[in-house]
Amino acid sequence: MNYDLETIRSQFPALALTDKGQPRVYLDNPAGTQVPVQVIQRMSDYLIHCNANQGGTFKTSIESDLILEEAHQAMADLLNAGSSSEIIFGANMTTLTYAISRSLGKRFQKGGALLLTRMDHDGNVAPWLQLAEDLGLEVRWLEFDLETYEYKLEMLENLLEPEDVLLAAVNYSSNCLGTINDIKTITEKVKSKGGLVYIDAVQYVPHGITDVQELGCDFLVCSPYKFFGPHQGVLWGNKELLMELEAYKVRPAGDLPPGKFETGTLCHEAMAGTLGAVEYLEWFSETINSPDKELTNRRQKILSAMNSIILYEQKLCKKLISGLQSLPGIKIRGITDPSAMDRRVPTVSFSVEGRHPDQLAKALGDKNIFVWSGHNYALEAVRVMGLLEKGGLVRVGPVHYNTEEEIEKFFEELEPIL
Ligand SMILES: Cc1ncc(COP(=O)(O)O)c(C=O)c1O
């Protein structure tokens, strides 16, 4: 594979920045990635050339509407949605989840249970817990194995046994453990018992191929700022459900998706930026994977780009894990088997005996190495691992633009402070 990292990195202006001569080492990506020129250009072009509200009969509004439609189509291509009207833009994943959970609540008023997991980010837990409280629904928990860091899928039959699960809210990939979950199997099981499936793919989309039709789920949410775009959220929903569900909306808003769920005026420039993030993947396929130049269809280009990204990230992840394993007192909380890198994303969390995660993250930050510490909103996961009172974990998250040298630099600075 000709993985031209220099050319890839040249697309991201922030990667070239230094502070007092020190380069920035961005390993904070699970909380948000840097953006390529395609995103910056789209956002600034939008603001300069067609900054307007929707539905006008004049040039800027007409052009703006075309870009917003293109943004919906680009996200439909990224997620392999059947139609651009199944794509809902919003402020972020959490806000979209709160909104759709309220609409679903209208259907759930007769009682039943919600299936939540101990692995999920709180954005896919708290909205459902609050809905359960409002409607008096039962909450059942899918646990993960503390040795393998994977779901105890054998629990699923029992959890679904009463056949009253209205919805299962499950993460595609954990923002803490890095585990990639078998969403297709979980979806099949839940749906065979009549439940809906709501997938949080925020941490998966930057690292894998997302195909909502293949998964068979009912909803899937993600956040463009985690996959090289601007700060916003996107929800995909099954068309029939989106048509059926009642939206909490103002009266003049239309009754069809996506409009009925896209309340108020959206961040148009960010939608243009999200279009740019998908175009970056097209650029990747055309420029980095040069033999794929003949691909004409955007979905094919996305697949080609992601396949290269997946392979490269697995290499980085192996290096990161084996380096951590060679250091004393470190416990990695996630899959470490080098032959199982396809079952995890490169987000690696670890604890260090006798050291507070915040202290380590701060010391690394002082050397311009950006990592996260704490629970990172994976509240349940960190709690069941007994780490909540100990300050959680240190989380290091490379993406496809990070270099092996950056991983080495991370270790150079980590070793002396252990
Ligand atoms: C797995 C996961 N789900 C949900 C969220 C929340 O996303 P947003 O900030 O778009 O609400 C995050 C953010 O870190 C996340 O990692």
> Which pLDDT tens digit goes with each residue over 181-218?
999 999 999 999 999 999 999 999 999 999 999 999 99
> What is the reported pLDDT for 79?
98
- Domain count for the chain, please give it: 2
Beta strand pairing call for 348-352 and 219-222: unpaired
Q: Is 175 in the pocket of ligand 1 (CB under 6 A)?
A: yes
Task: Tell whether ligand 1 has an atom less than 6 A from the beta carbon of residue 233.
Answer: yes
Q: What is the per-residue pLDDT for 294?
A: 76
Asked whether residue 288 is domain-assigned, the answer is no
The CATH number of whichever domain residue 23 belongs to comes to 3.90.1150.10
Q: Is 278 in the pocket of ligand 1 (CB under 6 A)?
A: no
149-to-43, 119, 273, 335 alpha-carbon distances in Å? 39, 9, 35, 6
Residue 120 belongs to domain spanning: 41-276
112 — pLDDT class (breaks 50, 70, 90): very high
CB of 352 closer than 8 Å to CB of 418: yes
Q: Tens digit of pLDDT for each residue in 355-396?
A: 999 999 999 999 999 999 999 999 999 999 999 999 999 999
What tokens does 181 get? 């979950």
pLDDT given at position 259: 97
Give the contacts of 230 (CB within 8 A, at least 6 positions apart): 35, 39, 43, 224, 267, 269, 270, 273, 274, 277
pLDDT band at 109 (very low <50, low <70, confident <90, very high): confident
The rounded mean pLDDT for the chain is 97
Cα of 42 to ligand 1 centre, how many Å?
24
- Same structural domain, 227 and 365: no
Are 254 and 389 contained in the same domain?
no
Beta bridge partners of 19: 22
Would you say residue 289 lies in a domain? no
Whether 33 maps to a domain, the answer reads no
DSSP bridge pairs for 199: 170, 220
Domain boundary among 230, 257, 276: 276
Helices 298-325 and 59-79: angle between axes, nearest 10 degrees: 60
Residue 393 lies in a domain: yes
Share of the chain above pLDDT 90, in %: 97
Of 203, 219, 234, 399, the residue with max ligand 1 atoms within 8 A of its CB, to mutate for a pocket test, comes to 203
Q: Is the pLDDT of residue 291 over 80?
A: no
Question: Does 258 reside within a domain?
Answer: yes
Over residues 5-37, the pLDDT tens digits come to 999 999 999 999 999 999 999 999 999 999 999
Give the pLDDT score at 293.
64
Ligand 1 pocket check for 93: Cβ under 6 Å: yes
Is residue 346 one of the residues assigned to a domain? yes
* Orientation angle between helical segments 298-325 and 268-283, nearest 10 degrees: 80
202 CB near ligand 1 (under 6 Å): yes
Domain shared by 165 and 236, yes or no: yes
The Cβ of residue 185 has, within 10 Å, a number of other Cβ atoms equal to 12
272 and 346 co-located in one domain: no
Residues 57 and 132 grouped into a single domain: yes
Same domain, 222 and 332: no
Q: Which residues lie across from 350 on neighbouring strands?
A: 332, 394
Residue 158: which residues within 8 A CB-CB, separation 6 or more? none
pLDDT recorded at residue 287: 93
Confidence band for 111, pLDDT divided at 50, 70 and 90: confident
Flag whether 297 is in a domain. no
Q: Above 80 in pLDDT, residue 93? A: yes
Residue whose tokens read 């894998």? 208
Give me the CATH number covering residue 262.
3.40.640.10
| Residue 306 counted as domain residue | no
191 and 67 inside one domain: yes
Atom of ligand 1 nearest to the CA of 95: 11
Q: Between the CA of residue 246 and those of 98, 237, 254, what are the distances in Å?
A: 14, 13, 12
- Number of the ligand 1 atom closest to the C-alpha atom of 32: 14
Spell out a b/e string for 128-140, using b for 16 or more CB atoms within 10 Å of the CB, else e.
bbebbeebebeeb
Do 271 and 244 sit in the same domain of this protein? Answer: yes
Do 22 and 70 lie in a common domain?
no
- Claim to verify: residue 16 and residue 54 sit in the same structural domain: no
CA dihedral 23, 414, 227, 242 (to 10 degrees): -150
| Mean pLDDT across 75-88 | 98
Mutate to test the pocket of ligand 1, among 174, 177, 223, 349 (most ligand atoms within 8 A of CB): 223
Statement to judge: residues 264 and 341 lie in one domain: no
Compute the distance from residue 196 Cα to the ligand 1 centre, in Å. 21
Summarised one tens digit per residue, pLDDT across range 113-135 is: 999 999 999 999 999 999 999 99
Count other Cβ atoms within 10 Å, centred on residue 240.
10
Q: pLDDT above 70 covers what percent of the chain?
A: 99
The whole-angstrom separation of Cα 25 and Cα 42 is: 26
Q: Is the CB of 73 under 6 A from ligand 1?
A: no
Average pLDDT, stretch 86-113? 96
Q: Packing angle between helix 37-49 and helix 59-79, nearest 10 degrees?
A: 150
On whether the pTM is more than 0.95, the answer is yes
Do 19 and 45 fall into the same domain? no
